[in-house]
Structure 1
Amino acid sequence: MGGKYVFNIFEDEVAMRRLNILASIITLPAFFLFLMIDVLSTQNINSVLVGMEQLGIIGAILMIMAIMFAVITVHEAIHGIFFKIFAPNGQVKFGYKAGLFYATAPGSIFTKKQFSVIILMPFVLITVMLIVLVFTVPHGIYKYLLALHTGACAGDFYFVYLLYKYRNMEYVEDTDVGMTLYEKYPESR
């Protein structure tokens, strides 16, 4: 193995297709599992149906989309916060590309462990928050948001997979289109 690997995820159509498939593989079974739990639980399905009656199908879909947009915004903000924690002088940028919202700190160098924290923290924090809501707030929507958010983390999971697939790489440079892994700290890029 060489001393450097470049991953331009946003420019790789095959990788993007695989990530969309992975997101579906994660989201759909969980979504249908939660739906079956609601169908089998009269109380849960009734609360979901009453909420849908009040909003109507279009209103319910719009509400879910608005909440999911808010969750994605918080997700990317968490990435941004952790980029700043580990690279206080780095510039954090937010954007939308290839059907995905993203946060990036292009040119910033991190250790593999730091980058893992940056990548996984939104999944961890939002999952904990949604699980707490599932068990404390009497509304069925939170478990569906949990399924959707977990699927939306497919790209993050893929980045972590790449980090640990190339075990000898110790440093990560965040880029506008993905990341570059280095065996040693890159003195000159």
Structure 2
Amino acid sequence: MDKYVLDIFKDHKALKTLNKWSILITLGAFILFYLFEILLTNTTGPALLGWSPLELFVSIILIILVIFLIITVHEAIHGLFFKVFRPGGNVKFGYSRGMFYATSSGEIFKRNEFKIIIIMPFIIITALMLLMWFIIPHASFKYFLALHTGACAGDFYYLHLLHKHPHMQYVEDTDVGMTMYERHPEE
């Protein structure tokens, strides 16, 4: 049986690719959301310019908290969708080598189930932040959207691998990546 194993921490080529993708995606997303801001929301303005040191300090703390909240919600959405497709499966959350993660290690999913698990945080968080941007117009949304989009590089990389190997019909989630199989491994 044909299979593809990704151990993200041992595959240095994959790590380099992820780092490049993350930077390029973040820059591209920033440009896109900046144009979105200019054309649709009219919230362009100076970010943190002319503020007192205390205002800057409080703002930086708030930015860090919001980014942490976005990452937490992102991983929780992965966890929720792991449970949607495998209600009895275990979901573990963690942080390793600069990456936050949610995993349902050892669980095997059909390829389309895994695609949904992977892409839903990007779709849900982006949609919510865009909606909030229109309800509470503020220039900071473009930064949070760009940073979140760039942080989704790992998810986009998994989708890329799924599309690169269309004959792989099952995906086993692992603590260090994923294993794709042509057929269910228990057959």
| The two structures share one fold, judged by TM-score above 0.5 | yes
Q: Deviations over 1:43-74 (max 9, x none)?
A: 6315x448955853333222211101100000
Distance, in Å, in 1 between the alignment partners of 2:31 and 2:55 is 21
**1:171–1:185 CA contact under 8 A, matched in 2:** yes
- Counting matched residue pairs gives 186
Q: Which moved more, 1:122-131 or 1:26-35?
A: 26-35
Q: Which moved more, 1:55-64 or 1:97-106?
A: 55-64
TM-score, with length taken from structure 1: 0.87
The aligned amino acid for 1:109 is I
Structure 2 CA distance for partners of 1:42 and 1:175, relative to 1, 3 Å:
closer
Listed as ranges, the gaps of 5+ residues in structure 1 are: none
**2:79–2:102 CA contact under 8 A, matched in 1:** yes
Distance, in Å, in 2 between the alignment partners of 1:8 and 1:84 is 23
For residue 152 of structure 1, what is the aligned residue in structure 2?
151
Higher helix share: 1
For residue 164 of structure 1, what is the aligned residue in structure 2?
163
Q: CA RMSD in A?
A: 2.6
Structure 2 CA distance for partners of 1:52 and 1:130, relative to 1, 3 Å:
farther
Structure 2 CA distance for partners of 1:37 and 1:77, relative to 1, 3 Å:
closer
1:26 Cα deviation from its structure 2 partner: 1.0
Distance, in Å, in 1 between the alignment partners of 2:88 and 2:42 is 54
Partner SS, residue 64 of structure 1: helix
1:35 Cα deviation from its structure 2 partner: 5.6
Structure 2 CA distance for partners of 1:43 and 1:112, relative to 1, 3 Å:
closer
1:67-106 matches, cutoff 5 A = 67-106=66-105
1:1-189 matches, cutoff 5 A = 3-31=2-30, 34=33, 44-45=44-45, 48-49=47-48, 52-53=51-52, 56-187=55-186
1:138 Cα deviation from its structure 2 partner: 2.3
Q: Deviations over 1:110-162 (max 9, x none)?
A: 00000000000000000000111122212111121110000000000000110
Distance, in Å, in 1 between the alignment partners of 2:77 and 2:174 is 18
Listed as ranges, the gaps of 5+ residues in structure 2 are: none
Distance, in Å, in 2 between the alignment partners of 1:157 and 1:8 is 16
Residue identity (%)? 51
